[in-house]
Amino acid sequence: MSVMTWTYLIVGASFALYIGIAIWSRVGSTKEYYVAGGGVHPVANGMATAADWMSAASFISMAGLISFMGRDGAVYLMGWTGGYVLLALLLAPYLRKFGKYTVPDFIGDRYYSDTARLVAVVCAVFVSFTYVAGQMRGVGIVFSRFLEVDITTGVVVGMAIVFFYAVLGGMKGITYTQVAQYCVLIFAYLVPAIFISLLMTGHIIPQMGFGGTMADGTYLLDKLDGLNTELGFDAYTSGIKSNIDVFCITAALMVGTAGLPHVIVRFFTVPRVSDARISAGWALLFIALLYTTAPAVAAFARANMIETINGTDGQGVLYAEAPDWIKNWEKTGLIKWEDKNGDGRMFYAKDDRNEMAKIDNDIMVLANPEIAKLPAWVIALVAAGGLAAALSTAAGLLLVISSAISHDLLKKVVMPNITEKQELLYARLAAAGAIFVAGYLGINPPGFVAQVVAFAFGLAASSFFPAIILGIFDKRANMQGAIAGMIVGITFTAGYIIYFKFVNPAANTADNWLFGVSPEGIGTVGMVLNIIVTYAVSHMTKPPPAHIQELVDHIRVPRGAGGATHH
């Protein structure tokens, strides 16, 4: 069977499974809609959290980034997995014990202020839309390549699927769909990685193949270093980022992960406080399966790509004899070739010899099975995995947007007297509206969707994280401090990123950065500023009311950790 037939079969079967789960788990109450009724098993919740977190960026883009950046790409691995350690130890159990459904709900109640709640709603909606635009674009790219439809049609199909199970099933439908999506995406990621590891190094475990020797006896990483330097690139295992920048980017990604609303809300779906910590541990294990495989996938893909384009003799391959994958990806516009010297041969290098005018990072994982000449069903499986990763995260983000609008804005501030039935209706309408906005952004992406991921993390790191962490561990943190801290953190971080990314991109060099920290890592500095401002303002103004201070004590005391507590 052809790749196209296999793709229709595997993607069709996975979509039928997601829709079946959504029909089975449709909800009738706001508690089921927002937190799946609070009855999800920790292992299932760990899988759902992993799928929620591992977006199209993790599945499609991360190995591509590592493939092209080498050592410097490792910041994404360290930051995105490290954030879960922070979540499990510092946030998940305490937030679960507080018993609120959303991050703005926690901030509004802990800081006894609708202004603080509104700032948090704005942050939650902005961060979520930033992310979801990238997910819908990822869906469009996968469809355009593997089903040979245009990106717009691909995005519309993706919108229809998400609309069905997010609006109908709420968090309950999303949770069980995400369990299925995790199984699809991890299988789709590991199968080609194992195949290629066996072909290239003889190791069945890709992580061992990554550090192993090739058929000619040279170590894979030594071979990559040699190939890279011959072609004018930096050695694969060396990095050009300074240590301070690596530290700040890693910290911003860690803290951004721990402050992201669509991840935090997952810890309200388990029955008990202790289950929140257990499910964070399971999530870390499930995420590590993909994240420890990514460097191996990146190295295999880069070695194969260089050899495929430049030939085993390093002289270039005739375009007329180029493998099908190059011509297939050319149709999507993500690969471009220019015959500079008119010899009809392709060549990939960093300097003037380069004739590959464009090789998009995002194709590396999707094209990897084709480059390695794997069977058609494996290529189709990777397409299904990419779609599962993008759709699972899109659904989680849409729920955050819908709950921020219906629960935190309408129920808590604008229309406090609405019934549960009305609130559920508004939540569904908000999710439907958010899907159309997300679809529009996927079809007409702002030119900076890829760059704005850093913006989203910086925003979450510099706004939510300090407000949550001080809200749990500092009784003296008050309304004035939290509002001032969030505004200062967001304003500084947003201003820095907007200046270097959009206002004056020519100045975006290490010489001009504050303390040598790039826009990707500035969220760490914004977070520190937020903490300092919150602490200073809180101690210069009157302390929180006695009942709030008692509440903070109650959240932290282990007593009653076996059962859920509500206020």
For 27-46, the pLDDT digits (tens) are: 666 666 666 556 778 898 88
Query: Is residue 515 left, alpha or beta, with left meaning phi > 0 and alpha meaning psi from -120 to 50?
Result: left
**What was the pLDDT predicted at 561?**
46
Cα(439)–Cα(373) distance, integer angstroms: 34
Cα(113)–Cα(483) distance, integer angstroms: 9
> What pLDDT tens digit does each residue of the chain (567 aa) get?
887 888 889 888 888 887 788 777 766 666 666 665 567 788 988 898 888 777 777 787 788 888 888 888 888 888 878 887 787 777 777 877 777 667 788 888 889 888 888 888 888 887 787 777 777 777 777 777 777 777 788 888 878 877 776 666 666 777 888 888 888 889 889 988 998 898 888 899 898 888 888 877 888 888 888 888 888 888 888 878 888 998 998 999 888 877 777 777 777 778 887 787 888 888 888 988 988 899 999 888 888 888 888 887 778 888 888 888 888 788 777 788 888 877 888 888 887 777 777 787 777 888 888 888 888 888 888 888 888 887 777 777 887 788 888 877 888 878 878 887 888 888 888 888 888 888 888 787 655 445 566 677 888 888 888 998 998 888 899 999 999 999 899 889 989 988 887 788 888 888 888 888 988 889 999 999 999 999 999 999 998 899 888 888 888 775 544 444 444
Cα(304)–Cα(124) distance, integer angstroms: 41
Question: pLDDT tens, 520-536?
Answer: 889 999 999 999 999 99
- Answering whether pTM is above 0.75, one says yes
Displacement of CA 187 from its chain's centroid (Å): 18
Cα(402)–Cα(428) distance, integer angstroms: 7
CA distances from 489 to 121, 500, 521 (A): 16, 17, 13
Displacement of CA 302 from its chain's centroid (Å): 23
Maximum C-alpha span of the chain: 80
CB atoms within 10 A of CB 377: 16
Cα(192)–Cα(363) distance, integer angstroms: 15
Cα(371)–Cα(177) distance, integer angstroms: 31
